[in-house]
Amino acid sequence: MSILDQHEAQLSALEARARRRRLIPEGGIDFASNDYLGLSRSGVLREVARAALERGVPTGAGGSRLLRGNHAEHEALEAEAAAHFGSAASLFMANGYVANVAIFSALPGRRDLVIHDEYIHASAHDGMKLGRARTVAVRHNDAQAFEDAIRAWRGAGETGRIWMAVESLYSMDGDFAPLTDLADLADRHDAFLIVDEAHGSGVYGPAGQGLAHGLEGRENLVSLHTCGKAFGCEGALVSGAVILIDTLINHGRGFIFSTAPSPLTAAIVRGAISHVRAATAERADLRAMMQAARDLVATRLGRETEGSQIVPIILGDNARAMDVAAALQRQGFDIRGIRPPTVPRGTARLRLSLTLNADMDQLRALIDATAKLLD
C-alpha cells in the first residue's frame, strides 16, 4: 500500500468518467482565452509596463496593503476605476476568485440571506461557504424565482438583509442576466445586488464599463470587474459604496492576509482601463465577430446562440466533447472542451471564445472544421 493510493484512486475514477483535468500548453489560433480585446500581448500594455518601470514603480509590494504594501499605484488605480465604472469607491485585489471569496464571506451578515443564480461562479460558492449568511440557489436567469425566494424568506418572519448575486454574462453559456429586473427587485425589497462583471467589463457599455454600467453608483450595488480578461492583465476591482469597500478592507480575509498585488500590475491595469475607455473600434470589431459567429453556428451547425463573445457548442457526452476539441487542436485551433462539474451533467461542450486574437477567416475555418467533425 502506498500513502498516495487514495489520491491515485480518485484520479483514476475521474479518468474513467472522462473528467480528469490536465494542463494543455497554449498553441494554435486563440478560440479559448478570455483576452477579448487582444490586449494581453499587445504593444499597448508593454509600453505601459516599460514606462512604469522607468519611473521606478516596484515589481512587488513587499507586504499586505495594511502593512507596508499599500502603494500610490494601488490608490491611483482605485481612483481611476471608480471614475471609470461610476462607483463611489473601488478596491484592487489579487484576482476575481479572491475578490468573490471576500465579497461573500465579509459583506452578508449572520442574519442575512444570499440568493444566487444556480450557475454563479465557483468562487462565489466558496465565499458563501466561508460566510455567515444563509444561502439559496434559484433558477438560472429567472427574476421571478429571485422574488419568490425573497417572499418566502420574509414570509417565514426573517428580517435580515437580502443579497442577490448574479453574473452579468455567464462564462459557460454566454447568456445575459436580467439586470434591470433584478435592480428593480433589489430596490423594492431593500436588498443588495452583487454583479460579477468578469466577462462584461471592457466589452460592453459605451466605454467598456460593463453591462451594469447604468446601475453603478447605487448604494445597493456591488460589482466585480476582473482585470485578466478584456483588460489583458490580472487582478480584480470591487466597486461599490465607500462603506462597503471599507468593510472589505476591515473584514475581507483574502485582502487583509495576502501580500498586495504588484504595484507594477496596478500601473498596467490603470493603463489598460485608459486604453479600453477609448477602444470603440476594437469593441465594434468584436461585435462584428459575435454576429458572424451567431450566423455561422446557426447555418453550419444548426444551433442558436445568445450572440455574446462566449459561444457554447453543446455535445452532451464528456468523451465526445474532449475528442472533438482535441481534433480541432490538431488542426491548429485552440478551443477547449468543458465537462461537468464545471457545467451541468449531460451538457459537455466546446466553449468557443471570441477574441481579437483571431480574425473572420479563422473563425469561418473553425466552424467549417467543427461541422465536418460533427457530421
Q: How many Å apart are CA 201 and CA 211, to the nearest integer? A: 7
Domain spanning 25-39+280-374 has what CATH number?
Answer: 3.90.1150.10
Does residue 156 surpass a pLDDT of 90? yes
Smallest CA-to-CA distance from 123 within 98, 148, 154 is with: 98
pLDDT band at 21 (very low <50, low <70, confident <90, very high): confident
pLDDT of residue 25: 83
pLDDT of residue 20: 87
pLDDT of residue 40: 96
For the segment 143-170, the average pLDDT, to the nearest whole number, is: 97
Task: Give the tens place of pLDDT for each residue, 284-334.
Answer: 999 999 999 999 999 999 999 999 999 999 999 999 999 999 999 999 999
Looking at the chain, the whole-number percentage of residues with pLDDT higher than 90 is 94
Burial 345-354 (b: 16+ CB within 10 A, else e): eebbbbbbbb
For the segment 26-32, the average pLDDT, to the nearest whole number, is: 94
For the segment 245-269, the average pLDDT, to the nearest whole number, is: 97
For the segment 93-106, the average pLDDT, to the nearest whole number, is: 98
Q: How many Å apart are CA 311 and CA 303, to the nearest integer? A: 10
pLDDT of residue 22: 87
pLDDT band at 26 (very low <50, low <70, confident <90, very high): confident
The residues spanned by each domain of the chain are 25-39+280-374, 57-277
pLDDT of residue 97: 97
Lowest mean pLDDT across 12-16, 118-122, 222-226: 12-16
For the segment 49-78, the average pLDDT, to the nearest whole number, is: 97
pLDDT of residue 19: 81
Give the fold, CATH level 3, of 57-277: Aspartate Aminotransferase; domain 2 (3.40.640)
- Cα angle value 60/199/254 (rounded, 5°): 40
For the segment 186-201, the average pLDDT, to the nearest whole number, is: 98
Average pLDDT across the chain, whole number: 96
pLDDT of residue 24: 82
Does residue 1 surpass a pLDDT of 90? no
Looking at the chain, the whole-number percentage of residues with pLDDT higher than 70 is 100
pLDDT of residue 315: 95
Does residue 18 surpass a pLDDT of 90? no
pLDDT band at 351 (very low <50, low <70, confident <90, very high): very high
